[in-house]
Amino acid sequence: MASSRHMARKWKVALLPGDGVGPELIENTTPILEAVNERFGISMDLSVGVAGFNAIEKYGTNLPEKTISLLKGSDCVLKGPMTTPEGGGSEISAAVKIRKMFSLYAGVRPSKNISGIKAVKPGVDLIIVRENTEGMYSGLDFRVSEDTAMALRVITRRASERIGKFALQLAKKRRRHLTIVHKGNILKESDSLFKESILRAAGGHSGVSIDEAHVDAMAQWLIKKPESYDVIVTENLFGDILSDEAAMIVGGVGVGPSANIGAGYAMFEPVHGSAPKYTGKGIADPVATILSEAMMYEWMGIEAAGSAIRKGVEAAISKGVKTRDLGGRSSTSGMCKYIAKRISK
């Protein structure tokens, strides 16, 4: 059961359904939150806000002021996937804006096999810790002439030490193995600063074994021996790329959850995109969103709620109640209803 500390307070959770399959994922997974709240006596206010590509037409921005106020008045946000415009002069992604605005500096992206889901390799249990606020996501990307464009990859000691500390703390709670991923042979200044800051943050390593890999080598090690990694810490763009790869190794981006964690606020979201071609068909895989909800309860300190959700997902999959991408025949809503019912039992 949840401790009285958590039962005594009221959690304010903002929901941003987003674009494409996002609204159907948030709508169908909300009953799972309700089932968990009821079973564990958690009091939670859910408020829906508008953000993403769909907001641009109506509000002229993907993150309207009203939504920013909603987020500021909440404890955390559960976000569906959003469509990000491409091309020069287009708006910065809403997810990236929220990560920066609330200093959600740690992108936490676990990849773990789920029994019954076809994977590239068994025995995988790793977490990618992605620096979420700078690197190639600095926003400093511009045309210097008709034929030349430049993007600046910003690495600071402060942000690198901060993510290093976070990753080390996480590794201490797990198998005590931390891998620093960089490209120091090419990005000589920025990635030596990144690596040096992480090692400094790790101090005497406190019983955690630390190794390192270049990002290109890591891309192949993740296929060859993913089971040998525990916590992987890396900068923003490398983490973005490797987390899609790691999700695919344990079954696909449809099952990859994530948390974006800062000092006093957090955002939970599936790793996958808005998948416009599946919109409205009722076939979107809800597992990534549901597991992101489990991560939300764990962040709140209500571990039992997180494990009830994980058990519900495992039960559905082992009973064959799963969406088509996982080899089943269930609809999004069918799978979510089954899981909510399991949790209520």
The binding site for Mg ion (CB under 5 A) comprises 240
State the binding partner of 245 from Mg ion, ligand IPM, none, CB within 5 to 8 A by kind. none
State the binding partner of 120 from Mg ion, ligand IPM, none, CB within 5 to 8 A by kind. none
**Any contact of residue 101 with ligand IPM (CB under 6 A)?**
no
Query: Smallest gap, in angstroms, from Cβ of residue 210 to ligand IPM?
Result: 25
Query: Smallest gap, in angstroms, from Cβ of residue 3 to ligand IPM?
Result: 32
Query: Smallest gap, in angstroms, from Cβ of residue 17 to ligand IPM?
Result: 15
**Any contact of residue 95 with ligand IPM (CB under 6 A)?**
yes
Residues in the chain: 345
Query: Smallest gap, in angstroms, from Cβ of residue 253 to Mg ion?
Result: 8
Nearer to Mg ion, 16 or 321 (CB): 16
Strands 231-234 and 177-182: parallel
Nearer to ligand IPM, 104 or 305 (CB): 104
**C-beta separation of 115 from 101 below 8 A:** no
Distance CA 191, CA 196 (A): 8
**Any contact of residue 240 with ligand IPM (CB under 6 A)?**
yes
Residue given tokens 């600071």 in the structure block: 156
CB 66: neighbour CB atoms within 10 A? Answer: 12
**Any contact of residue 163 with ligand IPM (CB under 6 A)?**
no
Given 48, 50, 96, 120, the residue binding ligand IPM (CB under 6 A) = 96
Query: Contact region for ligand IPM (CB under 6 A) — 91-99, 180-188, 220-228, 281-289?
Result: 91-99
Nearer to ligand IPM, 50 or 96 (CB): 96
Nearer to Mg ion, 131 or 240 (CB): 240
**Any contact of residue 93 with ligand IPM (CB under 6 A)?**
yes
Question: Which residues contact ligand IPM by CB under 6 A?
Answer: 84, 93, 95-96, 240, 271
